[in-house]
Amino acid sequence: MEGLSEPLLAEIIKRITRTSDLNSLSLVSKQLYNAEAEERGTLRVGCCLHPATEALSSLCVRFPNLWKIEINYSGWTSKQGRQLDNQGLLVLSSQCPLLTDLTLSFCSYINDTGIGYLAYCKKLKALRLNFAPAISSSGLLSVAVGCKSLSAFHLVDCMKVGSVEWLEYLGRAGSVVELVVKDCKGISQYDFLKFGPGWMKLEKFEFEINDNYWLSGPPLDPSFDAHYQYKYDICCENLKELRLAHIITVPEIGLRFLLRKCKALEKLCLDYVVGLDEREMIALFRNCSNLRSLSLRLMPLRSGPGMDFRTPLTDESLKALGLTCHMLEVIELTFTFCSSRYPSEIGFTQEGIVMLVQSCPIRVLMLNGANNFDDEGMKGLSSAQFLETLELVDCERITDAGISCITSTPSLSSLTLRQCKKVTDNGMDELARSWKLESLTVVGCRRVSRKAVQGAARSVHYSMESESFASLKGMIKMETSTLFRQIFS
């Protein structure tokens, strides 16, 4: 190793990705220690940084070419010493001249003064703030004014952020192409109108509310005038990725305008958006020929007086997708609070779902809570030429016969079953006999044993207990579904 040239050493170090391996490599010789220090461009620190400011300063001196830094205090307790504070960000701004990408997570000791120091980071392109309780709009405005190259901005669970002058400034600057705002109570969907010309360049937008958003109904747009709607005539033709979660829309008001204007969409995710209109969605699908990924999470609502509860979209939407979106490869359909006693609460039929999968080159399909999808539907999927990955969650009507059908799917290599109560060991035996799966995941299927899944695929993950959303859904279904029905009656 002593005789290797510096360029060759640098190339070796670039190919080592694990931090522990890089740390071990630097202990081999002084030459490797220096070379590794010169080549390292990324750093992730957190609870073990002690004393925080001094330790960070030492790391910045040792690694002079850092361009990406993540500071994460998730799980921190006071016993682990004081967190990094404003002084730490002053160190970053003064000692990391190449810094272009910064993530701060659960940094409770950093306030507007500290975040203001980032204005000196003239090369900063990406800033992600995840749970920064002491940072307000004033600090964000300092960043927006000082960081002229900012192209990606994430704001998650920042409770103190209220006014949105920073958003208006970013919009005028027009450099941001990726904007994500989640769980910030002081920011409403109407505030994004102030982003103005910034929409023209934006390629990725995500807005989510995780509060009791359904209790109060849609907030009113204070600037809305039924006779003057040009403020909604915003150009967003470059938007490729859109996610709206847990918001209430009404015609012509709020973020609903995006669904009429995004023609370049490649990825669309709508999570429990109340107020979706099928005609509007069909028009959207007809305009989005480049759509590659679609995620719809829906719940049954009453759309008019005397009408039954049903999810807002029907097979007509799926037909529009099948006719226009010939590049669609990934689709997730989640149905929450739909009773198994009333399959009609799901607006899509299994025939419509099968038709879509057969019409488009779908590689990945996830069905969650599809209690109207049974073995006939599985038989229909078995002829899908491109289907590689299938995930079934809480699909109560699928049995071993359906599992047997799916073994003949030409390209299927990965199967996930969660909370599928009627699937048994016999279904796993069918998978084992076909010997075609690369990956099998079985979680919360009580009639499937650990022994049965062994040999059913080359890689197997098994758990008797439910995990994540599937189990959560079961716990809250009875009490919450009643609440939703009362509110949206």
**Which CATH number does the domain housing residue 330 bear?**
3.80.10.10
Q: Which amino acid is at 191?
A: D
Judge whether residue 67 has pLDDT over 60: yes
Q: pTM for the full model?
A: 0.86
Q: Is residue 132 part of a domain?
A: no
pLDDT tens digits, 322-348: 999 999 999 999 999 998 888 889 999
Judge whether residue 415 has pLDDT over 70: yes
Q: What's the confidence (pLDDT) of residue 231? A: 64
Tell me what the mean pLDDT of segment 163-171 comes to. Answer: 92
Q: Which residue has the higher pLDDT, 48 or 225?
A: 48
Q: Is residue 109 part of a domain?
A: no
Tokens of 115: 């975040």
Q: Is residue 100 part of a domain?
A: no
Q: What's the confidence (pLDDT) of residue 81? A: 87
Q: Over pLDDT 90: what percentage of the chain?
A: 66
Range of 31's domain?
Answer: 1-40
Range 468-475, long-range pairs (CB < 8 A, 24+ positions): 469/368, 469/393, 470/368, 470/393, 470/394, 470/418, 470/419, 470/443, 470/444, 471/419, 471/444, 473/336, 473/369, 473/394, 474/394, 474/419
Scan for tokens 């709206």, then name that residue.
Answer: 244
Judge whether residue 476 has pLDDT over 50: no
Q: Is residue 146 part of a domain?
A: no
Q: What's the confidence (pLDDT) of residue 471? A: 36
Counted domains in the chain:
2
Q: What's the confidence (pLDDT) of residue 304? A: 61
Which residue, among 134, 137, 100, has the nearest Cα to 118 in the 3D structure? 100
pLDDT band at 385 (very low <50, low <70, confident <90, very high): very high
301, 484 in Cβ contact below 8 A?
A: yes
Q: Is residue 80 part of a domain?
A: no
Pairing mode of beta strands 301-302, 309-310: antiparallel
Q: What's the confidence (pLDDT) of residue 335? A: 96
Judge whether residue 58 has pLDDT over 50: yes
Q: What's the confidence (pLDDT) of residue 480? A: 39
418, 460 in Cβ contact below 8 A?
A: no
Scan for tokens 């009408």, then name that residue.
Answer: 307
Q: Is residue 303 part of a domain?
A: yes
Judge whether residue 279 has pLDDT over 70: yes
Q: What's the confidence (pLDDT) of residue 486? A: 43
| Mean predicted lDDT score pLDDT of the chain | 87
3-state class percentages of the chain: helix first, strand second, coil last, to nearest 5? 35, 20, 45
Q: Is residue 419 part of a domain?
A: yes
Q: What's the confidence (pLDDT) of residue 216? A: 52
Q: Over pLDDT 70: what percentage of the chain?
A: 84
pLDDT band at 446 (very low <50, low <70, confident <90, very high): very high
Q: Is residue 471 part of a domain?
A: yes
275, 259 in Cβ contact below 8 A?
A: no
Q: Which helix (H) or strand (E) holds 8?
A: helix 6-14
Residue 31: CATH number of its domain: 1.20.1280
Tell me what the mean pLDDT of segment 434-454 comes to. Answer: 95
Tell me what the mean pLDDT of segment 73-91 comes to. Answer: 93
pLDDT tens digits, 143-165: 999 999 999 999 999 999 988 89
State the angle between helix axes of 165-173 and 137-146 in degrees (0 to 180), rounded to the nearest 10: 20
Q: Which residue has the higher pLDDT, 400 or 234?
A: 400
Judge whether residue 483 has pLDDT over 50: no
pLDDT tens digits, 191-227: 898 898 999 999 999 999 886 655 555 556 666 665 5
